[in-house]
Chains A and B, each alone.
Chain A
Amino acid sequence: MKASIGWLLFAILIFPGLFFTGVLGLIVGWLDRKVSARVQYRVGPPFSQNFNDFFKLLGKETIIVRNGIHSLFVIAPLVALGSTVLIATLVGITLFQWLGVANDFGDLIVIMYLMMVFSVMVILGGSASGNVYSSLGAGREIKLLLADELAFILVCLVAVIKAGYTFRLDAILATQQAQGMFIASPSGAIAFIVGLLCLQAKMTLPPFHISEAETEIVEGPLMEYSGPLLGFWKLSQAMLWVALPFLLIALFLGGFTVEGYGILWSLLKYVGIVVVMILIKNTNPRIRIDTALHFFWKILTPLAFLATILAVLGV
């Protein structure tokens, strides 16, 4: 079934795009802060804190540094937000089967491409600000991208192979609904674990918050950002808390069911992934960039490769 332009706009702006993902992302951001706080014997912020932060940033002055590339500095967070919205829309349309209207939008190659666009925008925005910490952070972001990208592509490939060599998310989901979740097989389980750690790196969460390292390079690429532009960065980061776990659920956990008790099961999958990520985040110190490269290239990428071979063998 083909969707009209109106439906497309609705999908991108309201559900499951900007509005839905943004609101859910900020709520999950609160969950992150609250769980982290409880782990650390703190009280944690009130429910509305992330919304307050975002709207407050919208009202603040935007300072643009004199010795930078102004256009790039402004465009980077907007493009990053745009690519995040598109990832969320593409994954969401497939996952929710878009309220029955259409579900044939999710193409894995496009999603991987958009995820890379986000990282590239972080790099460009950081380099455009002309700040020494930002450029150092941008350099680290490049290295991190080099580290986690291959492992993540291999992880996606496992799902692709198991679904019968198709890059379409809806086909991957349909295969899982017919044969059970991919995570139940050895190759799927390995790929899921590697994928989870890749997400941690893609979202620059501890222990991979190397490019933002507050106590070293003071938020790195985001250092010179202020006001609404910083707000957009924070919003896209919050939206990644929704889009990327959704992607992982679509690839390995058999997607969502939105009928009856299935809703609870779906919710459990999502919250489970998020809580595991928060716990990883809270039990690890920041690793060095060279350690991260070693970790991804010497451990995770071979593991993902192994999973791919297993998937080809049909295990």
Chain B
Amino acid sequence: MTENKIPVGPFHPLLEEAEYFELKVEGEMVVDIDMEIGWMHRGHEFISESKAFTQSIYLVERICGICSTSHPLACVHAIEDIDNIEIPMRARYIRTLIGELERVHSHLLWLGLAGHFIGYDTLWMWAWKYREPVLEMFEAISGNRNHYGMMRVGGVAKDVESEKIPHLLQILDEIDRKMEMIAKAAHDDPVLKSRLKGVGVLKKADAIAYCAVGPTARASGLAIDVRKDEPSDAYDLVDFNIVVLPNGDVYDKLVVRLLEIIESNKIIRQCLEQLKTVPGPILNNVKEITPGEGIGRYEAPRGEVFHYIKSDGTNRPVRHKVRAPSYVNIPTFMASCKGIPVADALITLAAVDPCYCCTERALRVVNAGSEHLDLLALSRAKTEQLRREIYGK
């Protein structure tokens, strides 16, 4: 059997963003996989170093449209870490509330996309329909459906007024009912099970070797979760479990996410109940940041997001480093995508819920500056060459 190369990307219906995977196949079997990241570089770290801390928070919110509160949360954790800034109790609950709501909507978004990728468009539309009330809750709390702009150094930007809470709890009840239904449906669905069970297995040893994080690691039996391991905000004040499943296949990744949604709903309910009574300010006014370094971690829906910030005492970071969860989850394909059919490999690619534009931070330029390129001249030469190829003169 001859070896063929199937390019997946940079533009492919499987990928919402530009990314390149090269599957080496024999017939339908994938024998090797190569990946190339670096198509989506946007220079967030560099821009952040020219902005004030307050502005940086809004900037990192734009790293990802889906986990748009995980990055700012990790960023404010990093800044607060420099000076050990205290956060008011009410702000801690609001932060956790927003973070968990985001997890629910992100997991539902993934569920829908996964349905689409395995050709199950009904699941896609239903999952996204049930995601809508979550966005309504966001709108009621922050005024925005995405990019909530809630995080501040030392607290949050906006309070959750107590008169809104009964309404929010009402929406939450509705979401809870739907989620239990969807979790049960997906759990019992023989068609989904037969399609996803045993597909793209990531063994526990491989998950450790490739440093997998988030649901990808937890579906392989690796019990890591920043919310439990290093609780910040209100995570040590609320009661929840982390979901760990042993098999490491796509089906387990699906179930982990579904059960996490239910756990997240538990946290949201506790936060809302607490917010009825917990008094206090929501923002600790921080005047300046002293020189120093700080790291911030947060369990984003896809896994641990990590921010490092170095301050020199001015109002802007000297160095701001971001590591998104997909950056460590994408290499696990080396272990999970080999020796399985193309149809399985592609859903495995999607099963870690990769977020490419979050991932890409650095771009290595080889021989930069050694050659002077005139873009206009290059473009003209290319046009001329094409013209000659087409018209032959």
Q: Which residues of A contact B (CB under 8 A)?
A: 36, 39-42, 132-133, 136, 139-140, 206-207, 209-210, 213-218, 282-291
A285 touches B28 (CB 8 A): no
Asked if B205 is at the interface of the complex by the 8 Å CB criterion, the answer is no
* 20 chain-A/chain-B pairs, Cβ below 8 angstroms: A39-B122, A41-B126, A41-B129, A132-B7, A140-B28, A214-B119, A215-B14, A215-B116, A215-B117, A215-B119, A216-B14, A282-B122, A284-B120, A285-B118, A285-B119, A286-B118, A286-B119, A287-B194, A289-B28, A291-B195
Q: Is the CB of B119 within 8 A of A36?
A: no
| In the bound complex, CA of A291 to CA of B343 (Å) | 11
CB distance from B193 to the nearest CB of A (A): 11
B residues at A contact (CB < 8 Å) = 4-7, 12-14, 27-28, 115-126, 129, 191-192, 194-195, 341-344, 346
Q: Are A283 and B122 closer than 8 Å at their CB atoms?
A: yes
Q: B120 to chain A: which residues have CB within 8 Å?
A: 206, 284-286
Distance between Cα atoms of A213 and B192 in the complex (Å): 17
Q: Does B343 lie within 8 Å of A216, measured CB to CB? A: yes
Residues in A whose Cβ lies below 8 Å from that of B121: 36, 40, 282
Chain B residue numbers with a CB within 8 Å of A287 are 194-195
Q: Assuming the A-B contacts A41-B129, A218-B13, are A285 and B343 also in contact, with contact meaning beta carbons closer than 8 angstroms in the complex?
A: no
CA distance A40 to B122 in the complex (A): 5
Residues in B neighbouring A291, C-beta threshold 8 A: 194-195
Q: How far is the CB of A204 from chain B (nearest CB, A)?
A: 11
Chain A residue numbers with a CB within 8 Å of B124 are: 40
B6 adjacent to A206 (CB under 8 Å)? no
Contact A216 B125 (CB under 8 A): no
CA A281 – CA B62 in complex, angstroms?
38
What's the minimum C-beta distance from A278 to chain B, rounded to whole angstroms? 11
Q: How far is the CA of A218 from the CA of B4 in the complex (A)?
A: 17
Q: Which residues of B contact A218 (CB under 8 A)?
A: 12-13
Question: What residues on B are CB-neighbors of A213 within 8 Å?
Answer: 119, 343
Interchain CB contact (< 8 A) of A288 among B6, B115, B191, B341: B341
Contact partners of B13 in chain A: CB under 8 A: 214-215, 218
Residues of chain B within 8 A (CB-CB) of A284 are 120, 191
Partner of B6, one of A132, A214, A285, A290: A132
Assembled-state Cα–Cα distance A139/B2 (Å): 14
Complex formed: what's the CA distance from A285 to B118 in Å? 6
Chain B residues contacting A285 (CB-CB under 8 Å) are 115, 118-120, 123, 191-192, 195
Nearest chain B residue, comparing its CB with the CB of A285? B120
Alpha-carbon distance between A286 and B346 when the two chains are bound, in angstroms: 13
Q: Which residues of B contact A136 (CB under 8 A)?
A: 4, 6, 28, 342
Complex CA gap A216/B115 in Å reads 13
| Closest beta carbon of chain A to B364's beta carbon, Å | 29
CB <8 Å contact, A210 and B118: no
Contact B342 A216 (CB under 8 A): yes
